[in-house]
Amino acid sequence: MGTKTEKIILGIDPGTTIMGFGLIKVVGKKMQFLQLNELQLSKYDNHYVRLKHIFERTIELIETFHPDEIAIEAPFFGKNVQSMLKLGRAQGVAMAAGLSRDIPITEYSPKKIKMAITGSGNASKEQVAKMLQSLLGLKELPKNLDSTDGLAAAVCHFYNGNKIDTGKSYTGWAAFVKQNENRIK
């Protein structure tokens, strides 16, 4: 058994009120839909409690589905600094969960994900969701489209699988530290 022809990709859209996630299984060159869901965080007032839930849910998903790779939506800009800081923490916690299990992580900008799924970097959430529905043969879409954003990250990663330029990737803590020395000093 040389190369693994099957792999599972976990896609995460980390938010501070809702964390969307989706899982796909890749067999050869084909994708299969596994799961689509979201973690509601708005019921927790405390930001640290929300972060704890993001971490625990990500670990739970890893232990349940054993993903080979994680794709994460990571906007690198925002309307206000405070919300970006909170969002960055949510992303970091989800990444830490994956890194703690030595799962390679790739970050994609929302524009890059939309582009991969719909061919347009300015597509709406609805357009992305509809495209995913037809690509993966989903019977129905969730009422809330945050979970489809997580799934979109996974599908984007699948499409970028054979290309070199995929965004920022980390294979573990050591690689993360090496690529971010300026952030650690």
Segment 109-116 shows an average pLDDT of 95
| pLDDT classification of 171: cutoffs 50, 70, 90 | low
Active centre residues (catalytic): 13, 73, 146
Give the mean pLDDT of 171-185. 63
Q: Provide the residue range defining the domain that includes 127.
A: 6-177
Any idea what the CATH number is for the domain that residue 61 is in? 3.30.420.10
Residue 168 has pLDDT above 80, yes or no: no
**What is the tally of structural domains in the chain?**
1
Integer angstrom CA distances of residue 104 from 8, 68, 170: 12, 7, 6
pLDDT in tens, 29-86: 899 999 999 999 999 999 999 999 999 999 999 999 999 999 999 877 777 888 888 9
Worst-scoring range by mean pLDDT, 117-121, 125-129, 137-141, 163-167?
Answer: 163-167
CA distance 42 to 153: 22
Mean pLDDT of the chain: 88
Residue 13, marked binder? yes
102 is known to lie in a ligand binding site: no
Within a domain: residue 98? yes
Q: Is residue 37 part of a domain?
A: yes
Domain contains 184: no
- Residue 116 forms part of a structural domain: yes
146 is in an annotated binding site: yes
b/e map 70-109, b = 16+ CB within 10 Å:
bbbbbeeeeeeeeeeebbbbbbbbbbbbbbeeebbbbbbb
